Structure 1
């Protein structure tokens, strides 16, 4: 079997059996293609079924000389591992050459978050006297209230908005659906936007079910949401690099600092592994100092 055939079969497996998004599928294929590129550059004619540990060790040395970051190297190794697990599962090979390959150790980076006061500062900086401001208020309240990814926000449908129950149905990574609670304030601002702005728009065909629309009556893009938040951050004079994901990080951090169950937060964020959610268990340093000052006998 050659690389082209095996990659085509791997692609079909990721799309049909794993139900991964097109972006995720392409990321996995890109990882394996790096290995193919290495064999081509080093003039090694090795089929995917004949790859051994020694070949992979040479590949790791090669990507390291390219200056790839540890995170990128770990991502590439993860994709190649998935490819060989697929070959094992299909009984194309008997042993997995990636089993003894170690990825670079990654330092877990705490995500940037906003304090509740900073969240309020941003919300109060929105000019709700304009149609765009009314929409932006509803949009950012939804981001913070439900911890959505930006892709989940722009894809949010009216048919998946259950106002009477206080829930949203969102489609996350891998096309997995989940129900997420949404707060009363966010629902209130969504209703103000729907009745006061969206109802009076001319909506383009195919965009009738999207909650958040631009002035041309089509769904928003990721870039638009990033720019809206960037402009708002500059307007209120907040000296932080704020993105849509910052609202998601803040949502999770504030819940856990308030005593929320880690499993519940995992479910709301749509994390497949709880280890991903555990990164939010960090506490605000000012809060820790306050605890020491209040309760330590020598403080």
Structure 2
């Protein structure tokens, strides 16, 4: 479904122009990194020309337009904010560790070797995208919007109706995605099932998925011209994330369980709220309980 073309506000981050890619070996490395993000499956998918490491999805299935789309989970702040401490691991993480996590979670596979040509190219591309972002800063338009909490739990039954009406045409009645005949890549990625992201992926958190679809889905939607209401975004996220998908061992995640996000869907928790409520809400009671007394 076509959407209106949004003009980017002057204050929002924009990726550097291709004309600023350096010449020579460094420029080739950056271009290869972009190619790997856009067409991961071609090189690192189940039948990848380099090595079979991932489930067949591309990095840009989650980080839209090769990580350059405003509020489309872009990479603008990667180089400016890493290395950084992350509660999930309880440690300071490098860009390499963050990319490795994406391969193991969102791509439900194995990370490229840290010294490989591919990992170095991906890091170089992310560094180049952040050329104009001062160290330590996050520009406007980075990441995903966090929608206001609903005053109820997200409803997967209502979400299924949204999926059928708005999403099924691209992602399939069984969430299987669409892949052109004989192609190594999906035209539209699978949203559940064995070839989709696993339950350790960032989009398995409802607030992340809801913010993602609100400003980017269905096809053609943007932050300036969304096609779903906030409630529809929460509900369709609940439906998609209630469907089966690969499991990732997360027993070592969140060494301090009190730092788990409100909508982290897998226990144990430091509060008295159920796994069901942490996954689908309502979230405001949890947020209120966490406020300092």
TM-score by length of 1: 0.30
Bigger share in helix: 1
Larger radius of gyration: 1
Task: Indicate the structure whose relative CO is greater, using CA pairs within 8 Å and at least 6 residues apart.
Answer: 2
